[in-house]
Structure 1
Amino acid sequence: MTSDPCFSLPSHQSFNTQSLLSFCLHITKSIHQLKQIHARLLRTGTNQPHLLLQLTSKALTFPNNNHYACHVFDQIPNCKNEFIWTSLIRSLSQCSHFTHSISLYAKMHKNGVSPSAFTFSSVLSACGRLPAIQEGKQIHDQIVKSGLLSNKVLQTTLLDMYAKCGVVDDARYVFDEMSDRDVVSWTAMVAGFAKAGLMKDARRVFDEMPEKNVVSWTAMVAGYANLGEVSAAREIFDEMPEKNAVSWTAMIAGYGKCGDVRGARQVFDEICVPEATSWAAMIACYAQNGFSNEAIEMYWEMRSLNVKANEVAVVGVISACTQLGDPFIANSIAKHMEERPSELTLVSANALISMYAKCSSIDHALRLFDNMPEKDIISYTALITGLADHGRAQEALEFFDEMQKAGITPNQITFVGVLNACSYVGMVDEGYAYFELMTHTFGIMPLTEHYACMVDLLGRAGRLKEAHGLIESMPGAPDAGVWGALLGACKVHCNAELGEIAARRLFEIEPNNTGNYVLLSNIYASLNRWDEAERIVNSLEHYVSEQCRRNLM
């Protein structure tokens, strides 16, 4: 227990207790002390509204305590203090609790507390970051009714909100109505057009700007780079009087998107001291373009320089490990990451689960999943798919049930994993039930992948005519995966009739896949139909020789 004077006060000294508690709130230096004072307020019955207001205000001065501040604030009956309402809304928005910030504003409005321009600005920022365009438009209407629309800061915030939400027509309307535009409003308009991919409009406004800043230059670079127009991005980039980390990163990402790994590396090497975002962009560029070893080498180089890996870097190097499928490399990277839990976000943890599953470390995936404080649809889907791929069908289906009990709605990819699990263990009736669940309960239209799973499931069970009937009932054209599943089943069960049908379709869809010829030939051979088998082999030999002749021409 701290030795703060407020903790030694006798509870019957009401007036002095309130005064000294107020003083203690003023001088407290930690959230721990603040909560002790709060406890004393509750014990002594001196939790007066003005003290709770002071406690709420003080709680906002300590980082990562917005929810506690809101909890204290909720204890104040019918609070009309606009400053505290606004401070909470602003603090929640600044700490990325955007939904909570907007809902608190709605509660403020319902309680009849008149917002200030600062209140409107804070909640509009939250709307822009979510994005929440409908709420933003409602707030716009309220600003008009309040008579504050002429406020320059509010106009700029409105413009920025519409631009970030991608509603560039409304952003342009606000921009055109502004009588006094500063560099911030010009930049918001440029960034809005660039984000929407309207680079001609962005360039026109950019060229009209009386004064450009590094943000407007960077918005142009990023806009062109995101569209894959690297030459235009490079032209703007080279003209920039001052480059920042965002512009360097945008150029690297732009080259990576176009598959120009060498160009991306040249930009990276031009940076005097690369920041974490630039390292991450280069790692992602390597991984996205199949340069897995280079991505991993760059990750280790970055860590040797004590550069903290962000989410993009982590996901990039995990993707590279997944591509290689090397358990040793994968485990070394994963161990390094798990030793740094602060860097292991939900997104990167999900990527790790997929990597473990694809690198034959499904037990590691299970342990990581169990230790995750937060799980989403991607977490469950990655684990279910991984377990199914490893033949652990019953566990996969158990996690599917757990996911639904947790209130997480499955998606199309989840059901691919579930149907695969059923296929591996021959659970035909269950597979049909899950297929019905997907279409009728969750309203998910089956993809060709789902039909391929069902054909494989029926094929493994020897129900080949049923599988062929399912293919014929498909609303769209079956792809190679669907016909391939049927042909493979025909090979197992020596069914030449349906094998021929499947093979003919496959010859049309993927004529370069010689494996289909081999499968059909093997079906004939297993039935001692040697003439047909030889005919298919001869057709294959003729096809291969013809391809070689064309390649030599």
Structure 2
Amino acid sequence: MVDVCDNSGDVKYAASLFKQVIEPNVFLFNALIRAYAHNNFYTLAVAVYKKMLRHEPAENPLLPDRFTFPFVIKSCAGLTHHSLGKQIHAHVCKLGPKSHSMTENALIDMYTKCDNLTDAYKVFEEMTDRDVISWNSLISGHVRLGQMSKARAMFDEMPNKSIVSWTLMISGYTQTGCFADALVVFRQMQMVGIEPDEISIISVLPACAQLGALELGKWIHMYCDRRGLSLKSCICNALIEMYAKSGCIEEARQLFEHLTQRDVISWSTMIGGLANHGKAKEAIQMFQDMQRAKVDPNGITFLGVLSACAHAGFWREGLMYFDSMRNDYNIRPEIEHYGCLIDLLGRSGRLNQTLDVIRKMPMKPDSKIWGSLLSSCRTHHNLEIAVTAMEHLLELEPDDTGNYVLLSNIYADLGKWDDVSMMRKLIRSKSMKKIPGCSLIEINNIVQEFVSGDDSKPFSKDIFHMLEMFAMHQNEYDDIEDGSKQLQR
């Protein structure tokens, strides 16, 4: 009956049944521990284990066995209770079987979730029968710590890889910003004949979105349609984000409109997408629709709304939504929200108010905050506040040439050529170099990166030749247009 309660999730009833047994045996203790662990009641699972150790029956004492330890260790992992996990490990060494893969895998998982890869490797090395779960647990530990090179080394060494193994690598690369590597692993997975599942698709779509890999994103969309996965809100939300970030806002909108169950992620993704595409009024309208749908916004929702207000110059509305976030929804603004507010007020020319907001921020302003203010100072020709912003930027990022150039341009706009000359000498004296910009484009399902000034690619000569042809044709067009204007006069 306890197992039945475990399967149904009714652990409260399972516990009441357990209490009615005067002399519970090991099997019954194991069943209740397993029920608590399966339903994420980790503290209670550990408590039952301790009760089992203290239990003194009339005859033989109760000792944990190979069916006890995996679920107690899982509970330690769920609690990320490292010291307790080590105690249970000591019990395993003293009371448990010499080798049991389920227990050993649980130990590896526990140590990796507690960020103790040293002991995880010790268990792994001592195993006589490693399976795919053993390898995946260690890879997961490296991914958790952002150690993708070590994760990749283990992945390449694995004798057999499951869909979980591939997904761990894709997810890890995406989380650490190695989006191109995530796409490479995804394609390798397809080449070996492993079909993507729901989790691997959710893991790779953000990489497609960041790189603008629209062709691959569309293929994934068609694959999801064929498998009926597009109906799942988590998949649909990821597709909406991919289309929105790839410049296809109408495709994103169509997916959103066909979504039957819209959660806060769906609304927030769509609002942010509209804001980033300059459709501020539509983004604000969608936020109002979200409120009417009785879906509570979160911090990401308000980032989209504030961004929309900033791009449209709706400074009054932006202030109203910023206050609403705090007062109506009890959401504490993060530095990103303040960044939007600073951008909003700065664009509108309210630089004194902007500086006042910065000084009253509950957290220390970063370089993005002061950089935004400096940029607004150039737009509105305010040298006094620009110098204040620059003083803080010199402390935060003294070697960023962009800040020096921006202040130099402000001096130039105001005709202060001596100050312009001083700034240029300062830049040269520091031997600062501007970080080259780069752009990405997807060609035949391969994402190509182009860095400013880089001629190392094998087809660079052809590219530069084509650019020269474009420039020549543009000059010819300009000459024709100038001649046409002269004739009109």
Amino acid at match of 1:318: L
Using the TM superposition, give the Cα deviation of residue 424 of structure 1 relative to its aligned residue in structure 2, in angstroms. 0.9
Could you give the per-residue CA deviations for residues 389-446 of structure 1, whole angstroms, max 9, x where no partner exists?
A: 1111122112212222232211112111111111111112211111111011111122
2:29 aligned partner: 155
1:247 pairs with one of 134, 137, 150: 134
2:53 pairs with one of 173, 176, 182: 176
1:367-378 paired onto structure 2 within 5 Å: 367-378=254-265
Using the TM superposition, give the Cα deviation of residue 328 of structure 1 relative to its aligned residue in structure 2, in angstroms. 3.6
2:450 aligned partner: none
**Residues in 2 aligned to 1:343 and 1:430: alpha-carbon distance in whole angstroms:** 35
**Residues in 2 aligned to 1:348 and 1:148: alpha-carbon distance in whole angstroms:** 50
Residue 388 (str. 1) matches residue 249 (str. 2): no
2:188 pairs with one of 269, 283, 301: 301
1:201 aligned partner: 87
Could you give the per-residue CA deviations for residues 306-326 of structure 1, whole angstroms, max 9, x where no partner exists?
A: 423223311222232233233
SS of the aligned residue for 1:184 comes to coil
1:456 pairs with one of 327, 343, 360: 343
**Residues in 2 aligned to 1:185 and 1:487: alpha-carbon distance in whole angstroms:** 62
Larger radius of gyration: 1
CA pair 392-524 structure 1, distance change in 2 beyond 3 A = same
- Kept after mapping to 2: 8 A contact 1:381/1:413: yes
Could you give the per-residue CA deviations for residues 500-522 of structure 1, whole angstroms, max 9, x where no partner exists?
A: 11111121122222211111111
2:58 aligned partner: none
CA pair 475-299 structure 1, distance change in 2 beyond 3 A = closer
SS of the aligned residue for 2:331 comes to coil
- Kept after mapping to 1: 8 A contact 2:202/2:238: yes
1:346 pairs with one of 225, 229, 233: 233
- Kept after mapping to 1: 8 A contact 2:399/2:432: no
- Kept after mapping to 1: 8 A contact 2:46/2:72: no
1:141-290 paired onto structure 2 within 5 Å: 142-143=16-17, 146-147=20-21, 150=24, 152-163=26-37, 164-167=40-43, 170-178=47-55, 179-197=62-80, 198=82, 199-211=85-97, 212-290=99-177
**TM-score (normalised: structure 2):** 0.77
1:418 pairs with one of 292, 296, 305: 305
2:466 aligned partner: none
**TM-score (normalised: structure 1):** 0.69
**Residues in 2 aligned to 1:253 and 1:156: alpha-carbon distance in whole angstroms:** 28
CA pair 193-206 structure 1, distance change in 2 beyond 3 A = farther
SS of the aligned residue for 1:183 comes to coil
Using the TM superposition, give the Cα deviation of residue 525 of structure 1 relative to its aligned residue in structure 2, in angstroms. 0.9
**Residues in 2 aligned to 1:182 and 1:302: alpha-carbon distance in whole angstroms:** 39
Could you give the per-residue CA deviations for residues 188-237 of structure 1, whole angstroms, max 9, x where no partner exists?
A: 22222233332422422332342253221111122223344334323322
- Kept after mapping to 2: 8 A contact 1:149/1:155: no
401-410 or 322-331: bigger deviation: 322-331
Using the TM superposition, give the Cα deviation of residue 387 of structure 1 relative to its aligned residue in structure 2, in angstroms. 1.3
The answer to which structure, 1 or 2, has the higher relative contact order (CA under 8 A, 6+ apart) is 2
- Kept after mapping to 1: 8 A contact 2:42/2:79: yes
Using the TM superposition, give the Cα deviation of residue 147 of structure 1 relative to its aligned residue in structure 2, in angstroms. 4.4
- Kept after mapping to 1: 8 A contact 2:272/2:283: yes
Residue 319 (str. 1) matches residue 197 (str. 2): no
Residue 430 (str. 1) matches residue 317 (str. 2): yes
**Residues in 1 aligned to 2:48 and 2:108: alpha-carbon distance in whole angstroms:** 21
- Kept after mapping to 2: 8 A contact 1:162/1:170: no
Using the TM superposition, give the Cα deviation of residue 369 of structure 1 relative to its aligned residue in structure 2, in angstroms. 1.9
Using the TM superposition, give the Cα deviation of residue 244 of structure 1 relative to its aligned residue in structure 2, in angstroms. 3.1
Amino acid at match of 1:166: Y
- Kept after mapping to 1: 8 A contact 2:310/2:318: yes
Amino acid at match of 2:42: G
CA pair 340-441 structure 1, distance change in 2 beyond 3 A = same
Question: Tell me, which stretches of 5 or more residues in structure 2 are unaligned?
Answer: 56-61, 435-489
CA RMSD in angstroms comes to: 2.9
1:24-35 paired onto structure 2 within 5 Å: none
252-261 or 375-384: bigger deviation: 252-261
**Residues in 2 aligned to 1:201 and 1:180: alpha-carbon distance in whole angstroms:** 15
362-371 or 416-425: bigger deviation: 362-371
- Kept after mapping to 2: 8 A contact 1:483/1:506: yes
- Kept after mapping to 2: 8 A contact 1:366/1:383: yes
SS of the aligned residue for 1:476 comes to coil
153-162 or 405-414: bigger deviation: 153-162
**Residues in 1 aligned to 2:178 and 2:88: alpha-carbon distance in whole angstroms:** 34
SS of the aligned residue for 1:409 comes to coil
- Kept after mapping to 2: 8 A contact 1:471/1:478: yes
CA pair 249-441 structure 1, distance change in 2 beyond 3 A = same
**Residues in 2 aligned to 1:237 and 1:493: alpha-carbon distance in whole angstroms:** 63
Question: Tell me, which stretches of 5 or more residues in structure 1 are unaligned?
Answer: 1-115, 128-135, 548-553
Could you give the per-residue CA deviations for residues 3-32 of structure 1, whole angstroms, max 9, x where no partner exists?
A: xxxxxxxxxxxxxxxxxxxxxxxxxxxxxx
How many matched pairs? Answer: 421
CA pair 378-175 structure 1, distance change in 2 beyond 3 A = farther
CA pair 456-270 structure 1, distance change in 2 beyond 3 A = closer
Could you give the per-residue CA deviations for residues 223-273 of structure 1, whole angstroms, max 9, x where no partner exists?
A: 223344334323322332323332222122223334444443343344444
**Residues in 1 aligned to 2:48 and 2:417: alpha-carbon distance in whole angstroms:** 73
**Residues in 1 aligned to 2:316 and 2:176: alpha-carbon distance in whole angstroms:** 42
1:28 aligned partner: none
**Residues in 2 aligned to 1:355 and 1:456: alpha-carbon distance in whole angstroms:** 25
SS of the aligned residue for 1:414 comes to helix
Amino acid at match of 1:252: I
1:6 aligned partner: none
